[in-house]
Structure formats: structure tokens, C-alpha cells
Amino acid sequence: MRILRFVGRRLLQLIPVLLGVVVLTFLLVRVLPGDPIRSILGPNATEADADAARARFGLDQPIWKQFLDYLGGLVTGDFGTSIQSGASVTGEMALRLGPTLELVFIAVSIAIVLAIWLGIWSARRADTVGDHSVRIFALFGNSIPEFWLGLVLILVGYAALGWFPAPSGRVDPDTNLTPLTGADLIDALITGNGPAISSSAAHLVLPVLTLVIGVLAPLLRSVRASALEVLRSEAYAAAAAHGLPERTLLRGYLRRATLVRLPSLAALVFGTALGSTVLVEYVYSWQGFGQWALRGLLYRDYPVVQASVLIIAFAYVLVFLIADVVHAWLDPRVKI
């Protein structure tokens, strides 16, 4: 009950935050140098052509009028029309969001589970060979750039070993997958398309692995550090001094106390992962949200940039809200 009230209050706070984001991005994209109309018309277009195009996209209106139109559209769920493609931004985004969310969710979930498991394992064997190898791995993951890691994984997994499909998309087109959500694995599961399930899963392995290695490192280090702190705490020493068996100590006295601080970091890492996808998607030709937003920004496609910033802000706020709720659930001392 209390948690529901908290969630409700935080969702209400979302309104002013998103409003601020809308205003800021709307102004910022217009301050940036570059003209979207020139970039679609090419160098040979006349001034008249440009004016006509401007009028078509409503860019000839005074700026406050443009803003009010944009805001009115947002209320009805209309993000405007892409200047570059002429298609509806809402429709384009729906197509692009699914694949990226699929990638990020799977990667972050795997990274969190691995980090908890490896971090606690490593802390309990502090300063042994196992612990040192885990820490070296974390350092390695932290310092390797994703695009390079992606290329190496393609070289090894596709070119040398041939275990995984070429980095040329998200699913084999021959499987005739009907797109529903845009997340291919989920679509395949919903439609019960057997070949599509295996094809999309195989396509996911390398990009997910790339993201996991990059994202795992900070989580792993944090889990290890806080597990060490718990292991050295008086409370843990007291439980150990009372002769409780290892299993009880691990499950009841170490794990939950260690995880208390993880949610807020995991939320931050989720944000980083969302950013990393731009490069990972590029390397694996993954037609996703990151690539779309990047192209929008490069061509000064105002509606696309505004929509993508808004969605990213929304995702951040939502993920932090989830993190706070999980934190409160893990730590009885936190009052929400």
C-alpha cells in the first residue's frame, strides 16, 4: 500500500520532469548549427524550394507557435513527422524501440545476475587466484571500448568459428516473422515461429555479449566491495561466531545485505547501456533506436531528436523509480 502511494507520487513527479525535458530539447535542437531543410534538399535546391519545404514542416511559423503545435501533438501521442523520411515519428519509433529494449534488457539482466554471483563468490575468496582473475576480468571489461570488442567477437564468433550468424540484422528474413512488438525474439515466441526463435536468439548472442562485458564490470566491482564490507561487519562476525553453517550465512546474512546498494548503481548502468547500444547497433547492423536517434541528430531532424530524448528521459526516470522500490524492498531501514 505504502509502496503504491510512493509509486503514484513519483509518477506524478514525472510530469514536470518530462515537461522540462520537452522545453529544453525543443530549444536546444534549434540552437544547434545546421538546417534540417538544407540537409534533405541537397546543395542544388533554390531558396523557393527551401521555403516551400519549410512551410510543409511548419518551420516557417514563429517558434512559440511551433512549440504549442508540438505540445498539442504530444498530448495526443503524436510526435510529429520526420523531416528526413517524411513518415510519422511515432510509427518509426515504435518499430525501432523494440529491438533496442530487447537488447538492453537481456544484457542488463544477465549482467546483474552474473555480477551478484561472481561478486559474492569473489569476495568470499578475497585475495585468492579466483578473486584476482575475476578482478582482472572486471578491469578488462571496464577498459575495452565496445565497438572494438564487438568487432573482435564478430571475428572470432562468426568469421573464425562460424558459430553465430553474420552481423547483418536481427533475424533471418527467410523465417517470415510477423513483426508485432519489434523485439524479434518476443515476436517469434508469441507467434510460435520455431525457426525464427532460434534465428533471432542466435543473432542476439554476440551483441548481448558485447554489452554484458562492458556493463558487468562496474556492477561486479560494486557487489564485490559491498560483500567484503558485509563480511567484515560486526553483524556477520557475530553470526559466524555463533557457528551458523556456511549456507545459512550466505543466504541469510550476506546476500541481501550485499545487494542493498546495488539497485541505484544498476539503474545508472542501465542508462550507460542505453548509450552504448548506439555503437553496438552500428557494429552489428542492428536496426534499433540508437541508430535512428543518431541519424536524427546528424541530420538535425528536429522531431526525431525531440522524441528520442524524451523517450530516453522517460526510461531513466522509470528505471530509477524501479530501483528505489527494489532498494526499499531489500533494505528494511529505508522508508518510502
Tell which one of 253, 286, 289, 292 touches other proteins (CB under 8 A). Answer: 253
Site for other proteins in 60-89 (CB under 8 A): none
Contact 185, 201 (CB under 8 A): yes
| For other proteins, the closer CB: 32 or 237 | 237
Size of the site for other proteins (CB under 8 A): 23
| 260 forms part of the interface with other proteins (CB under 8 A) | yes
Query: Per CB under 8 A, which region of 34-42, 53-61, 237-245, 296-304 contacts other proteins?
Result: 237-245
Query: Per CB under 8 A, which region of 129-137, 248-256, 265-273, 309-317 contacts other proteins?
Result: 248-256
> What is the closest distance, in whole angstroms, from the C-beta atom of residue 129 to other proteins in the complex?
19
Distance CA 286, CA 299 (A): 20
Query: Per CB under 8 A, which region of 5-13, 45-53, 150-158, 255-263 contacts other proteins?
Result: 255-263
Question: Residue 35: how many CB atoms within 10 A of its CB?
Answer: 12
Query: Per CB under 8 A, which region of 133-141, 169-177, 239-247, 287-295 contacts other proteins?
Result: 239-247
Q: By rule CB under 8 A, what string of x and - marks binding of each residue 187-226 to other proteins?
A: ----------------------------------------
| For other proteins, the closer CB: 156 or 237 | 237
Tell which one of 7, 52, 186, 244 touches other proteins (CB under 8 A). Answer: 244
Question: Pick from 146, 87, 104, 108: which is nearest to 307 by CA?
Answer: 87
| 3 forms part of the interface with other proteins (CB under 8 A) | no
Distance CA 169, CA 281 (A): 9
Query: Per CB under 8 A, which region of 20-28, 44-52, 102-110, 233-241 contacts other proteins?
Result: 233-241
User: What is the DSSP secondary-structure string of 81-125?
Assistant: B-TTT-SBHHHHHHHHHHHHHHHHHHHHHHHHHHHHHHHHHHHHT
Amino acid letter, residue 253 = Y
Query: Per CB under 8 A, which region of 205-213, 228-236, 271-279, 291-299 contacts other proteins?
Result: 228-236
Cross-strand bridge partners of residue 49: none
What is residue 173's DSSP assignment?
G
First to last CA, the chain: 11
Beta-carbon-side half-sphere exposure of residue 12 (alpha carbons within 13 Å): 6
| 330 forms part of the interface with other proteins (CB under 8 A) | yes
| For other proteins, the closer CB: 55 or 240 | 240
Question: Pick from 262, 189, 206, 190: which is nearest to 230 by CA?
Answer: 262
Tell which one of 236, 292, 325, 336 touches other proteins (CB under 8 A). Answer: 236
Contact 227, 280 (CB under 8 A): no
Cross-strand bridge partners of residue 88: 81
Question: Residue 132: how many CB atoms within 10 A of its CB?
Answer: 13
Residue bearing cell 553474420: 166
| 2 forms part of the interface with other proteins (CB under 8 A) | no
> Which positions touch other proteins (CB under 8 A)?
233-245, 248, 252-253, 256-257, 260, 330-333
